[in-house]
Structure 1
Amino acid sequence: MKINLVTLGVVLALSSAAPAFADNSTGSISGIASHGSVVTIKNKNTGLSRTFSVSTNEKFHFRQLPTGNYTVSNGEQSFDIVVTVGGTRSIDFTDKVEVLSVVGSRVSPLDLTSVESATVFTAEDIDRLPITKDLTSVALLAPGTTKGDSGFGNLASFGGASVAENGYYINGFDVTNIRKFTSFANLPYDGVSQQQVKTGGYGAEYGRSLGGVVNIVTKRGSNDWEFGGSAYWTPKGLREDRTDNLSKQTDPSPSEKYHVYNSDNTYDYLKYNVYGSGPIIEDKLFFFAMYQWRDDEWNDFNVDRSTRNTDESPLGLFKLDWNITDSQVLEYTYILNDDEYTIHPYTNPEDEYYTGKHGTPADPYSISDSGDIHILSYTGYITDNLTVNALLGRMEFDSSVRNPLEGPGAECPLVYDRRETPTSSQRIGCWGKDSNQYYRYDPEGETESDTRDSIRLGLRYDIGAHSISFGYDKEEFESTKLGREFSGGDYWRWHRGTGSEVRGVVVPEGQDYVRHRTLTEASGKYLVENTAFYLTDEWQVTDDIILRLGIRAEGFENFNSKGESFVKGDTKYAPRLGFSWDVFGEGDKKLFATAGRYYIPISANTNIRGSGIEFSTEEYFLVDSADEDPTTSAPTKLGAKLGETSYNGDENPPHPGSIAAINLEPMHQDEFILGYQQEFDTWTVGVKAIYREIKDGMDDYCGHQAFINYATDNGYNNFDYNSMANCMMMNPGNNVEIAMDLENDGNYQAVSIPASYFDLDKYKRTYTAVEFFWERAFEDNWYLKGSYSYAKSKGNAEGYVNSTLEQDDAGATQDVDHALFQKGADGYLPNDRRHTLKLFGGYNITEEIAVSANILVQSGRPVSCYGYLPLEQYKDELGVDYSGLAGYSASSFFCQGKLGSRGNEGRTPWVKTVDLGVTYKPEWAENLTLRANIKNAFNSQEVTEYTETSEIGSASAPEANPNYLNASNYLTPRRVELSVSYKF
């Protein structure tokens, strides 16, 4: 029957003042019923039952319900509904209308009770689409998300933020790895029940992210026994070859023929899982268990070596749900991440290049990021109006641990040769070059690992027109660093002079010289503590208007390896405001807006790099090729030294007061959203305007001349800049309060240094966008969903990563290491995509056969020109910073000596991809499902990245890069995934 729009608007407005967000893995049911009636809900899968006695206001609500299928009844009428994560389902028993979904899902995305920008994808939604079943691929379906740089694994960027500024949750527990913010816990994706993607406007219960939030709810057991399994195979025989690209060098050597060599690489992926679920005690205790195996093999062929890589990593999920009573629920989740792959290296015969086949095998080794997750959560429905919840979680993971840690050749120095091939380095000597053994490690240190311990407490109380939520969460994140140095303790690289200068000295053509580097990194354990309180009032101002008034109080503290705090700021307050207006009270038109501030903590990687021991040196010498050791290939005798030695860091840990500004403001962002949605029969359409701006951006500054100048100007002539940390955390463009040993007597005192001494611009990043989005609910055997975004992401820093350098040092990128790196930095940022069109949907041809498609049309990313800093031009003002800056790569916006600007080389081409899928569910085998998905069906292989480095060599002897602006990466070619699923 058709829903009366006037009644429907009242239902939606009065039914709930808020979605149930105190627990990040639940949903709600609410609505209107006659005074004195009793409304009962019952979970159809688990038997969980609750009642609500309706008072004179004729409203009822059931907060923080486990997601799933429910029956709602008032004794006369009953409805079957599905509760999804973060949403509210509304019912009006007084008008005998049909149930309406107000959740961001395919049924009806128009949720008048919510101000958030969020989309929920159920397992059924995801199964229908021809996409890879993983967290990132699903997140990229949401409006406002784009794929980040390939160097970080093509993670999702939300609303112009870097890929290292998102939050990831599983069953309410934050599983983001904050060592660098670029990884998160994995799980068997077939164990996912729902994935919620928040792209903006989220409430005060969420923090520590500037981009978006991905919220996973796993499957759970029920009163029905169910078993099954699935297999997914992407065979190498159904994959097109990747694109090669020739070098632009004039008359290249045989080893420099290709700039990109991919065509001989092969990939064969197979994963399969089994699962079981059911009641341990009917209506009381349930389990869900899934175990997934992999049998992946991929072969990578390079210039003169290759690898065969295998991954048999299992993943596991175990979930227990205990309905202690109808008003108390206890949940336990265990996730196994045995993430480890093995690398089998090979070396080509001498003088054989680009062979496309494996040569002589070397010792294999593995890389492990394995770990475990434990989550325990409790929800108590104390009264009809009071709900409490608590969550405890622990996540333990290895951090890219190599096994064996060291192989043969660890005693030999690292040696490369560029005498015959100046644009590429050849590995020589006795070090473990064939097994990529670049380092040797501290024998007394502990394995690199990360551990997160978290507690969350929440309370919600409904009183009159207000729904009050209060919560507290605390997390401790400990990262263990294993000390290391270069293999054999030294790193040598041979060069041959071209008649140009090296470190200010002309090296004659044909004269050999070497670059020598050393590295010392100490072992240690580093702790990050983050705390937060939040308070939210969801206020039903009128029948048609809901206000959300929230505040989040954040606390951040970082410790060095001695347990000494080096960053502890005052409590930071983040307001979260919003409203939702049912424009005409008819339930089919919604105007909404949000305004909020969001903070992100300092990463554990900053503790390691900023407060630990990291010391390196670089120097150049003339040498004679006759003095090359026949075994190690290192020089046995050094000639004249070229210039001065460059030093980076210190052999002693820095004073904790000198690591970060005392007045350091954690990086935060202000966001404003204004949107409108409307329903037309089976269609829902909307438009939204978004503005985001970074306030008080944060990064490390690695210069020291500014401190010398300040000390000198204030009469401190004994100051030694070596008493400062190698790099200092600060807010660029602000005055810096920091501890300095001005008298060089070991006594540090706090001083305030004007911003002018550093000559740094304010940290800038803005995101402005207009999004159009639409959805046709499934009817007449087809559905369609999509969005179009027009967006601009501008500034002088990308954020917690630097995509150009593929640098994932969150909060410690190169961007503000010195004022020279900011010159030319203003412009459109790497995640800027002006136009993005997304379309996905499906059509049921028959009851057995369905087809689906996923289409992406997107404009390109900005292209820039990078080169070495022209140090001689600024030598007089650089002072002691000259030496340190000489060790940087060609990564400034000086393009072959001339200052350019970010994005001055145009953009990469538009990307257009079409994924197609077909599903067959035969009538003769009711529980069998067969699928074939074709990714990039038309085999588009557009360029996605160019080589943006205009120079090679070194800062003291730069040379034009012949492969500047040569294509370096392409779209992944067409491939086919075949899958089969069966349940019983």
Structure 2
Amino acid sequence: MKINLVTLAVVLALSSINPAFADNSTGSISGIASQGSVVTIKNTDTGLSRTFSVSTNEKFHFRQLPTGNYTVSNGEQSFDIVVTVGGTRSIDFTDKVEVLSVVGSRVSPLDLTSVESATVFTAEDIDRLPITKDLTSVALLAPGTTKGDSGFGNLASFGGASVAENGYYINGFDVTNIRKFTSFANLPYDGVSQQQVKTGGYGAEYGRSLGGVVNIVTKRGSNDWEFGGSAYWTPKGLREERTDNLSKQTDPSPSEKYHVYNSDNTYDYLKYNVYGSGPIIEDKLFFFAMYQWHDDEWNDFNVDRSTRNTDESPLGLFKLDWNITDSQVLEYTYILNDDEYTIHPYTNPEDEYYTGKHGTPADPYSISDSGDIHILSYTGYITDNLTVNALIGRMEFDSNVRNPLEGPGAECPLVYDRRETPTSSQRIGCWGKDSNQYYRYDPEGKTESDTRDSIRLGLRYDIGAHSISFGYDKEEFESTKLGREYSGGDYWRWHRGTGSEVRGVVVPEGQDYIRHRTLTQASGKYLVENTAFYFTDEWQVTDDIILRLGIRAEGFENFNSKGESFVKGDTKYAPRLGFSWDVFGEGDKKLFATAGRYYIPISANTNIRGSGIEFSTEEYFLVDSADEDPTTSAPTKLGAKLGETSYNGDENPPHPGSIAAINLEPMHQDEFILGYQQEFDIWTVGVKAIYREIKDGMDDYCGHQAFINYANDNGYDNFDYSSMANCMMMNPGNDVEIAMDLENNGNYQAVSIPASYFDLDKYKRTYTAVEFFWERAFEDNWYLKGSYSYAKSKGNAEGYVNSTLEQDDAGATQDVDHALFQKGAYGYLPNDRRHTLKLFGGYNVTEEIAVSANILVQSGRPVSCYGYLPLEQYKDELGVDYSGLASYSASSFFCQGKLGSRGNEGRTPWVKTVDLGVTYRPEWAENLTLRANIKNAFNSQEITEYTETSEIGSASAPEANPNYLNASNYLTPRRVELSVSYKF
């Protein structure tokens, strides 16, 4: 039924302020009723009941309610409603009207109380669509999100931010892994009740993210017993072949025929789950439990080797809800995340390539990211106007742990050969090459793991026209690093001369030479502490205008393996402001805006890389192939050395004061949003303008000549640059205050070095976008949702990761390792997608059959040219930095010796995908559901990435890459997912 617009305006204007940001996993009910009446709510699933005595202002509100189904009554009228995460459901008992749905999964009258940009997807919404059931696939339905680079797995970019700048929550607990910010805890997705996707304008209780926030609320038990299960199968027989691509080499060798070889790969995925829920004590204590298994197998075939990979990882979810009283609720969540897969490697017979068959088996090994999560939360409804909540949680995970750590061949050096195949390396020798055993590990070290301990406290108080909330949260994140070195302690790579220079020495054509590297990384335990206080006042200024006045005070501190602090800044204040205006007071037009500042902490990986022991060397020698050891393939004798040895890092831990600038500002972003929404009958449409800009970007700088120049200019002749850390965290373009041992006597003193010594540009990243979005409510058996975004993401750094290099060292990429890497760096960034159209919806063909579709049309990403730094051109000014820069890959914007610019090679093609689904719920078995989803139904296999590296070889002996701008990745081809679900 269509609600009278005037009545709607009155209800929303008089109802209490939206409390969506008081808690991460609850919703609210509010509205107006006659003075002296008593409003009662009851959760029809659990029996939780509360009452509110309406005073002279005729308002009532129920804060921070568990999501679910409720009945609301004033004794004369009653309504059945659904409370969604972060939403307010508003009711007017003074007029005989229907319930108003302010935030929900279907189209509804506008939420005039909310200023943030958020979308809620319920389990029912997700079930209707032909998408993969996982957190990222659902998040990508929201406006302003785009899929990140394939090298980082299945992650999303929000509003131009990198994929490593998001926050992820389950039942109010932050499950983001801040070692690198590129992973988060998983759970059986059929156990998800609602997923909220925040793309901007979120409140002061959220921090530590620059992109977006994904907020999961799990299912919970009720007074009704329910059991069931589901199975999802993506068979290899219903999957199209992936695309191959030939090498562009002239007369390639048999092992270099393909640049991309995918067609023989096979994938067969099967997952299934069972669940049960119900009352342990009726109306008091409830449980929900789900257990999920995998039976996945995928086969990857490469040039001369292959792997058969299996994954049987179980996932588990257990939820307890205890209504201690009607005014006190206690919740416990346990998540089992036994994420481990096994790799069975094979080697082809000699001189047989691209066979599409498994050869001789090698020893299998597994990779584990397994862990557990425990969450305990309490909500107390102290009075009608006062609510308190508390949460504690722990997350423990392995971090990419190999089992067994070492296999046969760990005593043999790592050896590769490029003498016959200069564009690709062949594995030779006795090291564990068939089982990818690149390293040997510290026998005294502990397994690599990550642990997060968190506590959150919050309070909300309603007084007059103000709804005030404040809270505190603290997290301790501990990462354990296992020390390692190359297999056998050395890494050798054979080459054959082409008549060009190597480290300044001409190597005659046909003359063999070899590169030698060593690596030392020490074991250690590293701690990150992040704290925050937040305060928000939501003020009903007039009947039509609501102001949100919030501020968040952030604190960050990072420690080295000795427990010494090396980063601790002053408290940083992040304002969060916004307003919502019911333009004509009729409830069908809304103007809103937000302005906010958002900080992100320094990753634990920076502690490991920056404050731990990490030392490497690189050198080149002439060699004779006759001196190749027949067992190890390492040289038994070295000839003349070519150039100098390059050193990176130090064999001793750096002084804490030299790791990061004392005046380091945590990376933060300012965001401004202006939007308008309007309701037209069963349609709701809107438009929104977004501007985001990084302030005080942060990354590591790995040069040392700048410090030498400063010392020399100030009369310190004894300064030894090796007393500094290998790389230092700083804000590019700012003066740097840092501790230096200027007298070389062991006494470090703080000095301020002008920015001009580093010659670094300010860190720049802006995101400008206009979004149009629309929704049609389900009526006449169909519904439709969608958005169109016109966006520009521009700057000289992508953010916490570097997609082109697939470098996930959060906050410690190579972007500002030296000023030379900034040359040509300004331009459109990897997550820049100028045009994005999203459409999804469904149609009920009959009472038993429904069809659905999900459509994406998106313009391509920028393409750049990367090459080696022209070190000889800058040799005089580089000084001691020359040798370190010589070890970098072809990753600068110098394109075959000439300076280019980011994005100067155009863009990848447009991407157009259509996913289709059909659902069958037979009348003869009402609890049975059968589905078939066709992903990429028209089998589009557009190019998504090109090889952007224009050179191979080394910085001292660069060669043109024949596969430069050759396609390297394509859209995943058509595949079919079949599923069955049953409940009883």
TM-score (norm. length: structure 1): 1.00
**Contact 1:104 1:118 survives alignment (8 Å):** no
Distance in structure 2 (CA, Å) of the matches to 1:109 and 1:261: 52
Structure 1 residues 193-202 or 149-158, which shifts more? Answer: 149-158
Q: Residues 107 and 775 of structure 2 are in contact (CA less than 8 Å); yes or no, is this contact kept in structure 1? A: no
Contact 1:134–1:189 under 8 Å retained in 2: yes
Aligned to 2:939: 939
Report the alpha carbon displacement of residue 5 of structure 1 after superposing the two structures with TM.
1.1
SS of 2:22's equivalent?
coil
Give the match for residue 718 of structure 1. Answer: 718
Question: Which residue does the alignment assign to 1:841?
Answer: 841
Give the secondary-structure state (helix, strand or coil) at the position aligned to 2:875. helix
Tell me which residue corresponds to 1:570.
570
Matched, 1:827 2:844: no
Distance in 2 between the 1:139 and 1:4 partners?
33
CA distance, structure 2, for counterparts of residue 336 and residue 2 of structure 1 = 45
CA distance in structure 1 between the partners assigned to 2:864 and 2:263 by the alignment: 27
Check whether the contact 2:417–2:494 (CA below 8 A) recurs between aligned residues: yes
Query: What is the CA deviation profile of residues 792-850 of structure 1, one whole-angstrom value per residue up to 9, with x for unaligned ones?
Result: 00000000000000000001000000000000000000000000000000000000000
Does the 8 Å CA contact 2:578/2:593 hold for their aligned counterparts? yes
Is the contact between residue 683 and residue 777 of structure 1 (CA under 8 Å) also seen in structure 2?
A: yes
Which digits, 9 at most, give the CA deviation of each residue in 1:565-602, with x for residues without a partner?
Answer: 00000000000000000111111111000000000000
Question: For the Cα contact (< 8 Å) 1:536–1:549, is it kept in 2?
Answer: yes
1:886-908 superposed Cα distances (whole Å, 9 cap, x missing partner): 00000000000000000000000
Provide, for residues 419-466 of structure 1, a one-character-per-residue CA deviation record: whole Å limited to 9, x for no partner. Answer: 000000000000000000000000000000000000000000000000
Instruction: Please report how far the alpha carbon of residue 729 of structure 1 lies from its aligned counterpart in structure 2 after TM superposition.
Output: 0.1
- 2-structure distance, mates of 1:596, 1:108: 27
Question: How many Å separate the matches in 1 of 2:330 and 2:676?
Answer: 39
Partner SS state of residue 332, structure 2: strand
Residues 475-503 of structure 1 show CA distances to partners (whole Å, capped at 9, x for unaligned) of 00000000000000000000000000000
Give me the whole-angstrom Cα distance separating, in 2, the residues matched to 1:546 and 1:14. Answer: 11
Q: Give me the whole-angstrom Cα distance separating, in 1, the residues matched to 2:957 and 2:408.
A: 35
CA shift, 1:105, in A, is 2.6
Shift of 1:341: 0.0
> What are the Cα deviations for residues 214-247 of structure 1, in whole angstroms up to 9, with x where unaligned?
0000000000000000000000000000000000
Distance 1:42 1:306 in 2: 59
Q: CA RMSD in A?
A: 0.5
CA deviation digits over 1:37-64, x for unaligned, max 9?
0000000000000000000000000000
Distance, in Å, in 2 between the alignment partners of 1:83 and 1:581 is 23
How much identity, in percent, do the aligned residues show?
97
Cα drift, residue 21 of structure 1: 2.0
Hey, what's the Cα distance between the residues in 2 that align with 1:224 and 1:365? Answer: 45
Report the CA distance between 1:3 and its aligned residue: 1.9
Q: Give the Å deviation of 1:108.
A: 1.4
Tell me if structure 1 keeps the 8 A contact 2:235–2:267: yes
**DSSP 3-state at the match of 1:470:** strand
Instruction: Give CA-to-partner distance per residue, 1:854-898, whole Å, 9 cap, x none.
Output: 000000000000000000000000000000000000000000000
Aligned-pair distance for 1:7? 1.8
User: Are 1:175 and 1:184, in contact at CA under 8 Å, matched by a contact in 2?
Assistant: yes
Alignment partners' CA distance in 1, 2:19 and 2:235? 44
Q: How much does 1:720 deviate?
A: 0.3
Deviation of residue 107 (structure 1)? Answer: 3.6
Q: Where in structure 2 are there 5+ consecutive unaligned residues? A: none
Alpha-carbon separation, structure 2, partners of 1:919 and 1:307: 36
User: Against the structure 1 CA distance between its residues 974 and 2, is the aligned structure 2 distance closer, same or farther, given a 3 Å change threshold?
Assistant: closer
- Over residues 77-135 of structure 1, what are the superposed CA-to-partner deviations in whole Å (9 max), with x where a residue is unaligned? 00000000000000000011111111053241621110000000000000000000000
Deviates more, 1:97-106 or 1:113-122: 97-106
Measure, in 1, the Cα distance between the counterparts of 2:175 and 2:517.
37
Q: CA deviation at 1:709?
A: 0.2
**Whole-Å separation in 2 of the counterparts to 1:704 and 1:14:** 63
Give distance in 1, aligned partners of 2:861 and 2:106. 31
Residue 404 (1) aligns with residue 426 (2): no
- CA 753–104 in structure 1, closer or farther in 2 if over 3 Å, else same: farther
Decide whether the 8 Å contact of 2:210 with 2:599 is kept in 1. Answer: yes
The superposition leaves residues 705-746 of structure 1 with CA deviations (integer Å, 9 ceiling, x where unpaired) of: 000000000000000000000000000000000000000000
Whether the 8 Å contact between 2:768 and 2:792 is mirrored in structure 1 is: yes
- For residue 23 of structure 1, report the CA deviation from its aligned partner: 1.5
Structure-2 residue corresponding to 1:453: 453
* Counterpart-to-counterpart distance in 2, 1:74 and 1:5: 23
Distance apart, 1:384 and its partner CA: 0.1
Counterpart CA distance in 2 for 1:487 and 1:827 is 40
In 1: Cα distance, 2:53 partner to 2:515 partner: 80
SS of residue paired to 1:379:
strand
1:154 Cα deviation after fit: 3.5
User: Matched residues in 1 for 2:136 and 2:238: separation?
Assistant: 24
Deviation at 1:328, TM superposition (A): 0.1
Partner secondary structure for residue 21 of structure 1: helix
Partner of 1:339: 339
User: Offset at 1:22?
Assistant: 1.9
Give the equivalent residue in structure 1 for 2:41: 41
Q: Is the 8 A contact 1:87 1:102 kept in 2?
A: yes
Question: Is the aligned partner of 1:886 residue 2:866?
Answer: no
- Taking the aligned partners of 2:602 and 2:114, their CA distance within structure 1 comes to 31
In the alignment, the residues of structure 2 paired with residue 246 and residue 76 of structure 1 have an alpha-carbon distance, to the nearest angstrom, of: 75
Separation in structure 2 between the aligned mates of residue 109 and residue 244 of structure 1, nearest angstrom: 50
Q: In structure 2, what is the Cα distance between the partners aligned to 1:450 and 1:686?
A: 42
Asked if the contact 1:865–1:900 (Cα under 8 Å) also holds between the matched residues in 2, the reply is yes
Deviation at 1:2, TM superposition (A): 3.8
Q: Distance in 2 between matches of 1:386 and 1:716?
A: 63
Change (3 A) 1:302 1:957: same
The question of whether the paired residues in 1 share the 8 Å contact of 2:109 and 2:679 is answered with: no
State how far apart, in whole Å, the 2-side matches of 1:160 and 1:659 are: 29
* Consecutive unaligned residues in structure 1, runs of 5 or more: none
CA contact under 8 A between 1:915 and 1:936: conserved in structure 2? yes
The reply to whether residue 330 of structure 1 matches residue 292 of structure 2 is no
8 Å CA contact 1:151, 1:806 repeated in 2 = yes
SS of residue matched to 2:110: coil
CA contact (8 A) 2:109 2:587 kept: no
**Equivalent-residue separation in structure 1 for 2:7 and 2:539 (angstroms):** 21
CA contact (8 A) 1:431 1:437 kept: yes
3-state DSSP of counterpart to 1:324 = strand
Conserved? CA contact 1:21–1:64, under 8 Å: no
**Structure 1 residues 788-867: aligned runs within 5 Å:** 788-867=788-867
| 2:536 maps to 1:536 | yes
* Alpha carbons 1:935, 1:974 under 8 Å: kept: yes
How far apart, CA to CA, are the structure 1 residues paired with 2:15 and 2:534? Answer: 24
Instruction: For 1:256 and 1:548, locate their aligned partners in 2 and report how far apart those are by CA, in whole Å.
Output: 61
Whole-angstrom distance in 2 between the partners of 1:156 and 1:13: 36
The separation in 2 between residues aligned to 1:235 and 1:667, in whole angstroms, is 45
1:594-626 CA distance string (max 9 Å, x none): 000000000000000000000000000000000
User: 1:606 — aligned with what?
Assistant: 606
Structure 2: how far apart are the matches of 1:456 and 1:418?
Answer: 55
CA contact (8 A) 1:249 1:962 kept: yes
CA contact (8 A) 1:104 1:111 kept: no
* Contact 1:104 1:110 (8 Å CA) reproduced: no
Aligned 8 A contact 1:63 1:387 in 2: yes
CA contact (8 A) 1:164 1:800 kept: yes
| CA deviation after TM superposition for structure 1 residue 20, in Å | 3.3
**Is contact 2:109-2:588 (8 Å) kept?**
no
Q: TM-score, with normalisation over the residues of structure 2? A: 1.00
2: distance between equivalents of 1:728 and 1:650? 13
- Structure 1 equivalent of residue 366 of structure 2: 366
Whole-Å separation in 1 of the counterparts to 2:585 and 2:53: 26
* Distance in 1, Cα, partners of 2:395 & 2:2: 49
CA contact (8 A) 1:44 1:71 kept: yes
Q: CA deviation at 1:13?
A: 1.8
Instruction: Report the equivalent of 1:703.
Output: 703
Offset from partner CA, 1:157-196 (integer Å, 9 cap, x none): 0000000000000000000000000000000000000000
Which sits farther off after the overlay, 580-589 or 880-889? 580-589
- Cα distance in 1 for partners of 2:266, 2:198 equals 36
| Equivalenced residues, count | 984
